[in-house]
Amino acid sequence: MLILTRKVGESIVIANDIIVKVVETGKSSIRIGIDAPREISVLRQEVFDAIQKENILSSQGTDNIDIARAAKLIGNKDKESE
């Protein structure tokens, strides 16, 4: 893992076309902005993990799949990218 120190307004560049910028810092959190091509999926870790779990359940053919929940997760991803 690469660990960098950045100040508000400073950025890092990943693979020539992804820019991660520090937007704001707070007491216990920071806000970052991510500028990436539309074809690259950018997800919060907890959303990514939930989607992976749903994918595993669906591949196992279980009846416990909550399609509405999965659709909600994907809908939240779309809102985050705006």
Torsion angle of C-alpha atoms 32, 15, 36, 44, degrees rounded to 10: -50
Torsion angle of C-alpha atoms 11, 13, 17, 19, degrees rounded to 10: -20
What is the per-residue pLDDT across 16-68, written as a single tens digit (0 to 9) for each?
Answer: 999 999 999 999 999 999 999 999 999 999 999 999 988 887 777 655 556 67
**pTM for this model (two decimals):** 0.65
Beta-strand pair 18-25/11-14: antiparallel
